Structure 1
């Protein structure tokens, strides 16, 4: 079974529908589609199902991959490919997008190697270029829409400029090309490719990480801080002149963190109140029972999520400078 991974952005709905309309019902490939829809509700599975012979759905996390099916990245989730499974994550945005194309291409290439056919259609900027580079690096095939006919040519042109592309085609020929590439696949089983484990790869999993920061930043302006030693005293200074000792930096960092947690707590409280007000409005509406339950459940969810934040705000935190001072005084 082959994996066809398609990425599109501006103008992508019509482009996707035209390609899907030409794919056969017995296609021996699973089709994965990422369109830059952000967190907005999407009817793309319904539109693609109506456009052609293959069923299209938003997958659930852990769903089994099967041939002859179109998997569409759901709103506000990256869609990843593992060996035999679809994975969904709300990891950090890539190229200012979630869902983004690069995580789909990257994960498909690492799981299925030469059995992957990457496709980039119309769109702005260059999401998908880095992912297509990995598709090619692991033996896959790179296909792009002819930029000359794309509504927005930047994405396909970026791939052409940076990757050894195998096929540049117009939409009218793309479905036939993809069907032919699938039929030409020599392997009938997915070739599992194990990651090399280098540091860059580990940091590109479409999940939030806690890697070592590149730099400590200035609480006043956000610029990178330079460390200097004055005897036993450590100072941090940014390029416009803000200066902190390590002890003051520790205190300021704590205040910054505290404000961020308070902002998150306030946002959750406001979400809970909005949901409560809407549930009260619908409580006595006989036609709004389902909507009432959704609003009430969302309210409870928001309130539940405030508890970990309250715990973080009220817990005692270590302050090394104060501890060291007390220890010296005790001695």
Structure 2
């Protein structure tokens, strides 16, 4: 069974994360934790406020020692690294990682160490390589690694970097990711990998071995 979903995004991430949340069925009850790079001078509202408009799930800015609850969405606060412990959060003001604080790598690596093969990690659109190392750590410890198809991302550098670093379980268009995550979750109890409409999904799901994942060659990007 799975315990947690972690999501990383940067440039174009508000729309991408909003679409992911809106596509998840109401009965999907895993907590979702998001690290997104935002300009420090953004004026249109906090990330939690903006995402709350796109989902009926409760969206909160994570706080130190806050308990992680089912069917909640948590976002990393501005200018803090967000770390996941078993059942709660920790905040850090250590140096920026990949020029970012919050860092996607910091979130993903801490979550992988806490939850191991109970974790689903997702990399969405973004303009640098933050998250690639963290997604590789999730995969290494038996979790599920999903990446947005870079050809349709607002900025493809982040998905490309993740593809180059991680043997992802699936590389998907944004509009397929929510439904796919739901299938991963709903099929976990039966230990069966979900199937896309276009054919079988290949990869490693938790500790259950299936044929090798499909691969995609990362192209260089100007982003």
Q: Identify the TM-score tier after normalising by the shorter chain.
A: 0.7 to 0.9
Partner in structure 1 of residue 219 of structure 2: none
**Contact 1:38–1:76 (CA under 8 A) maintained in structure 2:** no
**Contact 1:93–1:100 (CA under 8 A) maintained in structure 2:** yes
1:52 corresponds to 2:55: yes
Which residues of structure 2 form unaligned runs of 5+?
191-223
1:127-165 residue CA offsets vs partner (Å, 9 max, x unmatched): 000001110110001100000100100110111111110
Larger helix percent: 1
TM-score by length of 1: 0.54
1:28 corresponds to 2:29: yes
Partner in structure 1 of residue 211 of structure 2: none
- Note the aligned Cα RMSD (angstroms): 1.5
- CA shift at 1:186, angstroms? 3.8
Partner in structure 2 of residue 6 of structure 1: 7
Cα distance in structure 2, aligned partners of 1:3 and 1:103: 16
SS at match of 2:160: helix
**Which is worse superposed, 108-117 or 86-95?**
86-95
Partner in structure 1 of residue 152 of structure 2: 149
- CA shift at 1:38, angstroms? 5.6
Aligned residue-pair number: 187
Alignment of 1:93-172 (within 5 A): 93-172=96-175
Closer, same or farther: CA 68–178 of 1 in aligned 2, 3 Å: same
Cα distance in structure 1, aligned partners of 2:71 and 2:153: 26
Larger strand percent: 2
Partner in structure 2 of residue 240 of structure 1: none
Which residues of structure 1 form unaligned runs of 5+?
188-331
- CA shift at 1:28, angstroms? 2.5
Where relative contact order (Cα < 8 A, 6+ residues apart) is larger, the structure is 2
Cα distance in structure 2, aligned partners of 1:58 and 1:11: 20
Partner in structure 1 of residue 17 of structure 2: 16
List structure 1 runs of 4+ shifted beyond 4 angstroms: 38-42
Q: Is the radius of gyration larger for structure 1 or structure 2? A: 1
1:6-62 residue CA offsets vs partner (Å, 9 max, x unmatched): 000011111111111112233221100010126446521112111122111102110
Cα distance in structure 1, aligned partners of 2:157 and 2:25: 29
